[in-house]
């Protein structure tokens, strides 16, 4: 049903309709509205689930781990500091192959403390073995949650749905929230296999000595790679069932004749599309490659879509301090070395700590890369705030 609704509430309703059995979360801005709405839904009896008010994010993730290991469909939401606090458990969940879904309302990381949006938090856990899907807008955020449960349960890999904090979570937009019957027909009930059950005793969480550990990591890596097929299939099934494109591996926009290609993910994509339309009217041909699934990384798709494109610029809301752009490095790696010679891949860091990214900033960026490749640049950096020795 189409309604004007805050992003968090739309997500909460979608998650509730996926019939999770156990929900556990610790409040942290800007995820609070999601968990509050879920508490309300459970409290009103609209969802029959156990809602556990834990005492920290670590326990939130642990409760969800325990619940999933016991055969429940489990969900939690967090961001930034909370995600980092539960990072031990996040890795643990992936190693145990539990099909848990998290919402990460992307937010900057302390210190200095910031409650505003960037994607450093989910980037910090990109190597944990979770599938990471990025939502462009609230509609996609809502849809991705429904797809996430299905992807997780089919691949036995946990899924993190990333949506930009405040920008998406606190924005009121028209969103078509599917109704219960539609979700039920798309998402079958959870059929857990490897759970703790006294009727069929199993051990979960054994330790692996050097004889076995490496193989477990190989298997997890290959599982991540193979999940590509499931991600694409579920997105396709979703399109058939609900009539709109959501999720998937990558999406492209006006890529065909583009001279400059912008790669990005998350809500920034919307602004970029607006700019592209504007530039088209001005006669410039710029295209967009939007990354929906950040992990597993769509290396082949990027290569195949862009192998004829010579001017690529990656704009991201994250940074690997001491190294440079994270998404940019991933993109640069997508092209075989031999071919990179005349291709420019520029890296821009934008929007850290919730800094507003305007169309003008993006225009400046496109114009700059038309002239010359940019190794690494912070978009919209206020040099007047930086003393000479720190430059």
Q: Degrees (nearest 5) of the Cα angle 24, 93, 167? A: 55
The number of residues making up the chain comes to 391
- The answer to whether residue 356 forms part of the interface with another protein (CB under 8 A) is no
Which residues pair with residue 2 across a beta bridge? Answer: 176
Task: Check: CB of residue 260 under 8 Å from CB of residue 329.
Answer: no
Considering only CA atoms, which of 144, 241, 229, 149 is closest in space to residue 187? 149
Shortest spacing between CB 18 and another protein, in angstroms: 14
**Strands across the sheet containing 311-316:** 250-253, 286-291, 260-264, 311-316, 344-349, 377-378
Task: Check: CB of residue 39 under 8 Å from CB of residue 51.
Answer: yes
Specify burial of residue 215 (Cβ count, 10 A radius: 0-12, 13-18, 19+): exposed
- The answer to whether residue 62 forms part of the interface with another protein (CB under 8 A) is yes
In DSSP notation, 21-37 reads SEEEE---TTTHHHHHH
- The answer to whether residue 212 forms part of the interface with another protein (CB under 8 A) is yes
Shortest spacing between CB 94 and another protein, in angstroms: 9
Q: Is the dihedral of CA 320, 321, 325, 330 positive or negative?
A: negative
Site stretch for another protein (CB under 8 A), options 2-10, 50-58, 253-261, 266-274: 50-58
Among 59, 142, 264, 334, binds another protein (CB under 8 A): 59
Among 110, 185, 216, 358, binds another protein (CB under 8 A): 216
Using left for φ > 0, alpha for ψ between -120 and 50, and beta otherwise, residue 354 falls in left
Q: Degrees (nearest 5) of the Cα angle 139, 267, 276? A: 105
- The answer to whether residue 198 forms part of the interface with another protein (CB under 8 A) is yes
Shortest spacing between CB 49 and another protein, in angstroms: 6
- The answer to whether residue 203 forms part of the interface with another protein (CB under 8 A) is yes
Among 46, 127, 179, 215, binds another protein (CB under 8 A): 215
Binding mask 69-98 for another protein (x = CB under 8 A): xxxx-x-------------xx--x--xxxx
Taking each helix axis as running N to C, give the angle between helix 7-17 and helix 32-43, from 0 to 180 degrees, rounded to the nearest 10: 40
Binding mask 147-186 for another protein (x = CB under 8 A): ---------x------------------------------
Residue ranges in 9-28 that form contacts with another protein under rule CB under 8 A = 21-22, 24
Among 36, 39, 53, 171, binds another protein (CB under 8 A): 53
222 or 300: whose CB is closer to another protein? 222
d(CA 275, CA 273): 5
Shortest spacing between CB 80 and another protein, in angstroms: 19
**Strands across the sheet containing 50-53:** 50-53, 22-25, 74-78, 101-106, 159-164, 131-134, 293-295
Site stretch for another protein (CB under 8 A), options 214-222, 290-298, 305-313, 348-356: 214-222
Tokens of 51: 């809602």
Site stretch for another protein (CB under 8 A), options 44-52, 116-124, 142-150, 350-358: 44-52
Binding mask 114-153 for another protein (x = CB under 8 A): ----------------------------------------
- The answer to whether residue 310 forms part of the interface with another protein (CB under 8 A) is no
Residues that bind another protein (CB under 8 A): 21-22, 24, 48-50, 52-56, 58-59, 62-72, 74, 88-89, 92, 95-98, 156, 193-194, 196-198, 200-209, 212, 215-216, 219
């Amino acid at each position: 049903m189409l309604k004007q609704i805050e992003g968090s509430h739309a997500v909460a309703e979608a998650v509730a309709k996926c019939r999770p059995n156990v929900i556990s979360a610790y409040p942290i801005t800007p995820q609070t509205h999601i968990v509050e709405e879920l508490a309300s839904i459970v409290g009103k009896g609209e969802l029959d689930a156990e809602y556990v008010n834990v005492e920290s994010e670590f326990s939130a993730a642990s409760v969800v781990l325990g619940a999933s290991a016991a055969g429940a469909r489990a969900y939690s939401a967090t961001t930034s500091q909370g995600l980092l606090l539960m990072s031990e458990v996040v890795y643990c969940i992936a190693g145990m192959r539990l099909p848990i879904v998290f919402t990460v309302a992307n937010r900057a990381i302390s210190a200095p403390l910031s409650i505003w949006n960037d994607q450093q938090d989910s980037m910090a856990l990109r190597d944990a073995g979770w599938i990471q899907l990025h939502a462009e807008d609230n509609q996609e955020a809502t849809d991705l949650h429904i797809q996430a449960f299905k992807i997780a349960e089919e691949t036995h890999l946990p899924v993190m749905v990333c949506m930009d904090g405040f920008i998406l979570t606190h924005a009121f937009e028209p969103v078509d929230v599917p109704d219960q019957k539609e979700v039920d027909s798309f998402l079958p009930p959870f059929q857990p296999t490897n759970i703790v059950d006294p009727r069929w005793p199993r051990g979960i969480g054994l330790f692996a000595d050097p004889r076995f550990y490496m193989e477990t990591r190989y298997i997890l890596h290959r599982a991540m790679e193979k999940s590509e097929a499931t991600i694409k299939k579920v997105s396709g099934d979703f399109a058939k069932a609900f009539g709109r494109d959501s999720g998937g591996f990558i999406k492209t926009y006006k890529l065909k004749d583009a001279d400059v290609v912008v790669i990005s993910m998350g809500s920034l994509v919307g602004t970029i599309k607006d700019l592209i339309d504007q530039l088209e009217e001005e006669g410039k041909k710029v295209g967009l490659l939007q990354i929906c699934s950040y992990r597993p990384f769509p290396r082949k798709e990027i290569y195949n879509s862009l192998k004829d494109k010579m001017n690529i610029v990656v704009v991201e809301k994250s940074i690997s301090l001491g190294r440079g752009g994270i998404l940019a490095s991933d993109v640069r790696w997508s092209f075989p070395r031999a071919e990179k010679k005349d291709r420019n891949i520029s890296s821009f860091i934008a929007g850290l700590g919730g800094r507003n990214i305007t169309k003008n900033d993006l225009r400046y960026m496109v114009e700059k890369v038309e002239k010359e490749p940019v190794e690494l640049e912070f978009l919209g950096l206020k040099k007047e705030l930086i003393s000479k020795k720190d430059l």
